[in-house]
Amino acid sequence: MVISIWLLWNISKPAKFHSSNYKRFLDGCTSLIARGNEPDLRELADEIFDSIEGIVKECKKYNSGRAHLAKEKGERYEISEYTKYVLTLLDLWSDAKFCQLMVCYVPKTANEIFTQINKQGLYYSGGYALVHQLVRQAFMNKTSILYKEEDYFGLGHFKTFTNTVFGNCELIESNLNPLPAWRGWNDESLGPWMIEKYTEALNVATEAHIAHGWRKGYHHGLSQGFNELIGMGRIVWSQAVKLDKLHDDDEIVDSLPWKNLFAIERGLDKTVGILQEHEENIPEYRLDEATYNKFEDGSIYGVIAYAIFGFFENLSVCRSKDETVRMLAISLWMAVYPVSKGQETKAIVELQKRLNIHLFKKFEENLKELHYPALIRLWINIASLQENIDERRATLVNKKLFELLRKYYEKAVKTDPKKAKDMLPDKIRYDEKKGQLIQTYTFGSTSVLELR
């Protein structure tokens, strides 16, 4: 009877990875993952839960930095066979279907992987492929634990998985950085529900960087995350190109590109709000506008300012629908350049300082070199040609813009009339004889900018 009970207990308990069965454990996982039987994979995902802590601990014995240095010197970097099997096991678990089932049906195991990575600091010792595949599958599948953590409902009150993965600035800035794992710009099924969740993850990461005092220079990992949205050739750019090709103006607001771009703008709007909410906890950094380099800016304002600039710049790719693009940009523009000087908080001023540097450089490229995308076209469409006399920083941007228009626009017309026309919204015409830019508004009133 004792032997029977012992056999039943051993048969029923989950297999645990350890130094005496690591080869058989790896072979068993390989066989199950290769077959791809969903019920078996779900059971496997449940069984590996108890092994994760020990596996992560063993992975710590490998250091990718030291291994790379040894390779450069032509030396051997020695690790045990057991450690090699552990690292191989993590790579094996990065199978797309297995990770999908983990984040959708066995979230406790997916969460435990990230919990142990954070707890033991496994940031430079393997697991890159597994982390990125888990995050990718979490964003791609609407039934994943990430989407179940909906604001103010059920699991959304705790957001355990979201905070474990994106709420640790050390993980975000490490080699495992999970933010770029979701290549949304390369996903044919891209929808606003994905973008809304991704911007939420970015904002969780932004708050983590502020709250936990990440002070090690440029926020490279966080910047990579924002770049997935606003980088050249990424989501904003691709959706603006698609928006530019639409013909039926009545259906534009209901189109997928418009909804995707609106979701991004709304997410960035919330980011600005987070900076304002926590501005007292953000340290000040000296800023020299003449020598400014965003990669040397240790302030989180630098990352967000460049993300906002990238949104405006890539949105400018759409040149055939001025009013539609203006609708997509106006809310974020007003958040950064509010209607009164009294609303320019410390966070807003710091954002403006950095954003203005990027804007002025691009305005000059547009007018002097006639380089696309025509950001100046979007900006004039938002801010108009009116020369205001108030002291808001938005007015300072306009003054610089008008200065550049007077300096370069008529020369641009002579160099390439078509490109010069592309730099202006359709509602603005150039009067060559008088040297004027004339803006006509909806009800017939006009603004005139003297270029001479």
Sequential DSSP letters for 401-417: HHHHHHHHHHHHHHH-H
| Sheet strands (E) in 169-253 | none
Summarised one tens digit per residue, pLDDT across range 378-428 is 999 998 888 776 666 667 888 999 999 999 999 999 999 999 999 999 999
Q: Which amino acid is at 62?
A: Y
Which band of pLDDT confidence, cut at 50, 70 and 90, is reported for residue 64? confident
Which band of pLDDT confidence, cut at 50, 70 and 90, is reported for residue 13? low
Whether the model clears a pTM of 0.85, i.e. scores above it, the answer is yes
Are 211 and 281 contacting, i.e. CB atoms less than 8 angstroms apart? Answer: yes
What are the angstrom distances between the C-alpha of 159 and each of 15, 112, 132?
30, 14, 19
Summarised one tens digit per residue, pLDDT across range 308-366 is 999 999 999 999 999 999 999 999 999 999 988 888 899 999 999 999 999 999 999 99
Q: Which helix (H) or strand (E) holds 447?
A: strand 446-450
- Residue 85 token pair: 């099997």
CB neighbour burial string for 47-59, b if at least 16 within 10 angstroms, e if fewer: bbbebbeebbebb
Summarised one tens digit per residue, pLDDT across range 216-260 is 678 999 999 999 999 888 999 999 999 999 887 768 888 999 999
- For 289, which DSSP code? G
Query: What gap in Å lies between CA 372 and CA 340, rounded to an integer?
Result: 32
Are 173 and 221 contacting, i.e. CB atoms less than 8 angstroms apart? Answer: yes
Summarised one tens digit per residue, pLDDT across range 89-116 is 999 999 999 999 999 999 999 999 999 9
- For 251, which DSSP code? G
Nearest to 52 by CA among 114, 113, 137: 113
Summarised one tens digit per residue, pLDDT across range 129-180 is 999 999 999 999 999 999 999 988 899 889 999 999 999 999 999 999 999 9
446 three-class SS:
strand
Characterise 447 by phi-psi region: left (phi > 0), alpha (psi -120 to 50), beta (else).
Answer: beta
**Across 2-6, 68-72, 354-358, 400-404, least confident range:** 2-6
258 three-class SS:
helix
pLDDT of residue 11: 58
Q: What is the largest CA-CA distance in the chain?
A: 107
